[in-house]
Chains A and B, each alone.
Chain A
């Protein structure tokens, strides 16, 4: 396989990971937001707790997904460098 294709594969994996994780993060936020919203509506006293849980969950999600996205971007940069080095060696 040519270097251009290897590079394309690395970029495709990076883009799929980044976009896929953004979509997954949105989905996970929405999945958690609903039961907490219902709990707040049923028992208004729980609203502050639900709000705090939503914020904590959101922060954890952003941290975990952000770290994986950053890892994917870094891996693509490393892959680019390795492919370039392989091209130079040829």
Chain B
């Protein structure tokens, strides 16, 4: 029941989360860490010196990182490299800058109360979560947050750095529905226009926060199709390869396209884990 409830609320937050937050509705999800199903703003007392922060995507929850088999990217990094996973839960329907601001504040609190000296803070974002990570880093730099000094690498899985074409198509459809001189069609357009700011932000071709210097940014894109042209068009089914690689595919060994894996599959694919693990093993 609890898991299904949180999943339903995550979908609701993704769909109309900006409205929920704006009206102070109790269904709006605050930005917190979640450990074993319990909401918290602190690291565990037995946390190690290398925390890894995992940020889910649109309409997601911390459970997204767990495969049906029980495999979990954060837990695997803990097992293999001794990292301490911190799963973030947030309202994915609010503006990305707002999510970023809240994540930045949360991380400052976590680092301030961390039980041991932090050696390195690893950031991993999936889809929209990667954009939230970027926004949080931007806020942290502007506001002089301490936690940013511990970040040496950020890993983005299927993150639409150059926007999501699906949302841009959605915008066009809504605009079209609005000009059709038929009241029912306009009503459908009005309903579609109610989608959250978080979803609408995904249509932006450029992220307001740049990829910060001094941090190794690792970008992983999924590609469903085998052929190069089809792969460029479809990407991982939700995000194009060009957007997920920020247009740098093939230029940089920190930018990798994983063939035969979809948007959600990026969270659980063993090849993706091998890449993440490999990057986290070495000092950037």
Q: How far is the CA of A12 from the CA of B26 in the complex (A)?
A: 9
The answer to whether A27 and B28 have CB atoms under 8 Å apart is no
CB distance from A37 to the nearest CB of B (A): 13
Q: Is A23 an interface residue (CB 8 A)?
A: yes
**Which 6 interchain pairs have the tightest Cβ spacing?**
A8-B26, A4-B26, A30-B183, A8-B27, A8-B25, A27-B183
Which chain A residues border B20 with CB–CB below 8 Å?
Answer: 8, 12
Q: For chain A, what secondary structure do more than half of its interface residues adopt (helix, strand, loop), or is it mixed?
A: helix
Q: Is A26 an interface residue (CB 8 A)?
A: yes
Contact A31 to B184, CB < 8 A, known contacts A1-B5, A8-B20, A12-B20? yes
The answer to whether B187 and A27 have CB atoms under 8 Å apart is yes
Q: How far is the CA of A34 from the CA of B183 in the complex (A)?
A: 10
Interface size on B, as a range, is 10 to 19
Q: Is B186 an interface residue (CB 8 A)?
A: yes
Q: Is A5 an interface residue (CB 8 A)?
A: yes
Using a CB–CB cutoff of 8 Å, the interface residues on chain B facing chain A are 5, 9, 20, 23, 25-28, 183-184, 186-187, 190-191
Using a CB–CB cutoff of 8 Å, the interface residues on chain A facing chain B are 1-9, 11-12, 15, 23-24, 26-28, 30-31, 34
Q: How far is the CA of A8 from the CA of B191 in the complex (A)?
A: 21
Which chain B residues border A15 with CB–CB below 8 Å?
Answer: 23
The answer to whether A26 and B183 have CB atoms under 8 Å apart is yes
The answer to whether A11 and B25 have CB atoms under 8 Å apart is yes
The answer to whether A5 and B23 have CB atoms under 8 Å apart is no
Q: How far is the CA of A45 from the CA of B231 in the complex (A)?
A: 64
Which chain B residues border A8 with CB–CB below 8 Å?
Answer: 20, 25-28
